[in-house]
A and B are shown apart, each in its own frame.
Chain A
Amino acid sequence: MKKAKLNNNNVLLLITIVLFAAMYLAGCIVYAGKGFTRLQTFLNILIGNAGLISVTCGMTCVMLTGGIDISVGSLVALDCMMMAVGVEKMGMGSPVLMVFILIVGVVFGAVQGFCIAYLEIQPFIVTMAGMFFARGMTAVLSTQQISITSDALFTKLAGTKIEFPFGGYVNTKGILQVPYIRVTVVVALLVVLATFFLLNYTRFGRSIYAVGGNQQSAALMGLDVKKTQLKTYILCSFLTSIGGICFCLNTMNGTVGQATGLEMSAISSAVIGGTLLTGGVGNVFGSLFGVLINGTISSLVQTNGKLISSWANIVTAILLCFFILLQAVFAKVKERNK
């Protein structure tokens, strides 16, 4: 009976984790001289991808219902621009802006969710329009790159290092370097935990799985499918806005071209983490590892220093291909066993 629980989906997650470990270990061996073995390298991956982690959590939820949200990258850009314009041009305080950004996220998600759930328009089309809209609105706010410098609290948040009591080393100049993470990492990890809890231990979370498993059945079992979808898209945009703020804390500026392609990074992270685009299967821890794998690849390419940056994209694509094929093979085996 216990054996049945180690199903294909768990195996996929396991492979993802093993792969991440193997890749990281390989990096440690090959680039040991370049400091890849340091704890900070790993923490930097977390810091660099804090925004993406939060966005991917939202994306995972939407994908679990069998939907997709390709507006997330543009929404992140809009969030950053709102923060930049708000602080620099309008002199608003960052706490007010953060609340405002989250509210915009909820409204944005609600409009998209309404179109998808109640007007029954395909998610891809709706969120594509959302993507255009958010990106265009970013340009309407400003077509220039605006750096955020004048908000003390925001600058402090961005600069705060949460230091580790261990793992330090002395660098060549003789200064002690202590491993640290940033506030954004804490936020991102909290988002992962909260999303995990939501998906597994609340009625809403289970409804997401049910809707993704079989929408018609879910409706016939008396679940409010439309409401579940609406709430999921709101959740996604909300988590994306949290991610947007984290992203902004990393980059400290707003520009039109920000976070282009972030939606695809989020989708590929979720897929590598074992989420099926058909819905119903997947979890946020897998997605977290998906992001980490993507981050490790970029980090490896950067550490190498000689490779063109597009190698990171190519390797990610190959990995994506590998995972997709793996999922397909598992699905075939399952079919045959029936």
Chain B
Amino acid sequence: MSNLKKLTKMRLFLPVFSMILVMAINVVYDIASGNAPFNFFTISLNNGVLYGRLIDVLNRGSEVAILAVGMTLVVSASAGTDISVGSVMSLTGGMCCMLLAGYGVTNVSEYAMPLWAGIGAGVLIACVCGLFNGFLVAYMNIQPMVATLILWSAGRAVGLLLCNSQIVYVRVASFQKIGAYVGAIPTPILIAAAVVAIAALVLRFTALGTYIQSVGINKKASRIAGLSSAKIILLCYVICGLCAGIAGIVATSRIYSADTNNIGLNMELDAILSVALGGNSLGGGKFNLAGSIIGAYTIQAITTTLYALGVSSAQAPVFKAIVVILIVVIQAEPVKEYFKKRSAKKAVEGGVQA
């Protein structure tokens, strides 16, 4: 009993528990439908590339995982969410493809300028977006949701403008590779892993983590103690923009086109959800990056599982909503308290009987 309690109190309990739950549902489903019980975990080589539901989750979850890194920092430092990331992804894709194809051109099989320049410009504009958001939040003291609302609506619109309201295709192998495979492994998995690893190393070997949390918990006190709260918040938003840029490039490369209307659509919600699922308070302060990452893949696992269960992509949100509500309700303070009281009462009654 006490071990169980310790377990539930662990910081990573919620994200890991939800992940295991999703996997368990997969196993049950596979047994029920007569597949091999561990179909979900089966990884096979197909046409020289890795194949399987688990790989699919890892692959498709890459963008959300990358976004979750930036979002976690933003939430921690500024007690608010950056709702512009999906829009910025789209802008990045639009910028990148427009440069690679040339303005007004909708379909190319040769670059109009070097690949690195296109990607660089795309990521750069994402960082600029981050800088803009960060400036509004850190230096103008605007609530993060309102500040990022501006780019939420403008980012995608500017992307459309860059692409002249059309879908720009870049059919060049080296560009497609970013969203495809390196050897047998999907490239997005590698990119996500690299982003997460770099973030983890930076947090491990610098005091940035303490700085961010300190500013997130008490901005004024942090300033008096010598931290430049504004700069730290600005930095978090720029990192978030950078992550959105990388995720945008990955998403664009997958479909080797700038489908500005759809790239990163509602992605900000998944990113925020990852952070919440990871056991982080959206009220800022202490954060747990590992939780957010697991949260991101859990969300993808839910989506993939629903598709496997035959739920259409338009209907999937119903289940997503139910899962979200269940998870946050179990986590809610009043609910926890209620169960604590009940178990305490039971313990007392049990004691009397014994």
- The reply to whether B150 and A126 form a contact with Cβ atoms under 8 Å apart is no
- Quick check: A308 and B165 within 8 Å, CB to CB? yes
Stretch at the interface among B34-42, B156-164, B286-294: B156-164
In the complex, B152 has a CB within 8 A of chain A? yes
Produce 1/0 per residue, A124-158, CB < 8 A to B.
11101111110111011001000000000000000
> If A308-B164, A311-B157, A324-B147 touch, does A135 touch B333 (CB 8 Å cutoff)?
no
- Given A121-B328, A128-B272, A328-B140, A137 contacting B153 (CB threshold 8 A): no
Q: How far is the CA of A133 from the CA of B151 in the complex (A)?
A: 25
Contact partners of A186 in chain B: CB under 8 A:
none
B318 and A320 within 8 A (CB): no
The answer to whether A268 touches B153 (Cβ under 8 A) is yes
B331: chain A residues at CB < 8 Å are 121
Verify if B319 is at the interface (C-beta below 8 Å from A). yes
Contact between B146 and A277, CB atoms less than 8 A apart: yes
Instruction: Give the interface size class of chain B.
Output: 35 or more
- Would A317 and B81 be within 8 Å (CB), given that A128-B273, A139-B315 are in contact? no
* B312 and A308 within 8 A (CB): no
- Any chain A CB within 8 A of the CB of B54? no
- Cβ contact within 8 Å between A124 and B145: yes
Is there contact, CB below 8 Å, between B319 and A136?
yes
Bound-complex Cα distance A130 to B331 (A): 18
Is A125 in contact with B328, judged by CB distance below 8 angstroms? yes
Partner of A325, one of B140, B151, B318: B140
A313 and B156 contacting across the interface, CB-CB below 8 Å: yes
Which residues in B have their C-beta under 8 angstroms from that of A268?
A: 149, 153
A331 on interface, CB distance cutoff 8 Å = yes
User: Do B320 and A136 touch (CB < 8 A)?
Assistant: yes
Residues in chain A near residue B198, CB distance under 8 A: none
Residues 145-188 of chain B, each 1 if its beta carbon lies under 8 Å from chain A, else 0:
11101111110111011001100000000000000000000000
Contact assessment for A264 and B314 in the assembled complex, using a CB-CB cutoff below 8 Å: no
The proximity string for B residues 327-349 relative to A, scoring 1 for CB distances below 8 Å and 0 otherwise, is: 01101111100000000000000
Q: Knowing A121-B329, A264-B152 are in contact, say whether A132-B317 is a contact too (CB < 8 A).
A: yes
Q: What residues make up the interface of B, taking CB atoms closer than 8 Å to A?
A: 81, 136, 140-143, 145-147, 149-154, 156-158, 160-161, 164-165, 269, 272-273, 276, 282-283, 312, 314-322, 324-325, 328-329, 331-335
Which 5 A-B residue pairs are closest in the complex by CB-CB distance? A136-B318, A317-B154, A139-B314, A136-B317, A133-B321
**Contacts A125-B276, A125-B328 known; 14 new A-B pairs at CB < 8 A:** A115-B328, A115-B329, A119-B332, A139-B315, A140-B318, A143-B314, A264-B149, A277-B146, A308-B161, A308-B164, A317-B153, A325-B142, A327-B142, A331-B141
A-B contact pairs, 23 of them (CB 8 A): A115-B329, A115-B332, A119-B328, A119-B334, A125-B282, A126-B328, A128-B272, A133-B318, A133-B321, A136-B318, A136-B319, A136-B320, A140-B315, A264-B152, A264-B153, A277-B143, A310-B156, A310-B161, A311-B161, A313-B157, A314-B157, A317-B151, A324-B146
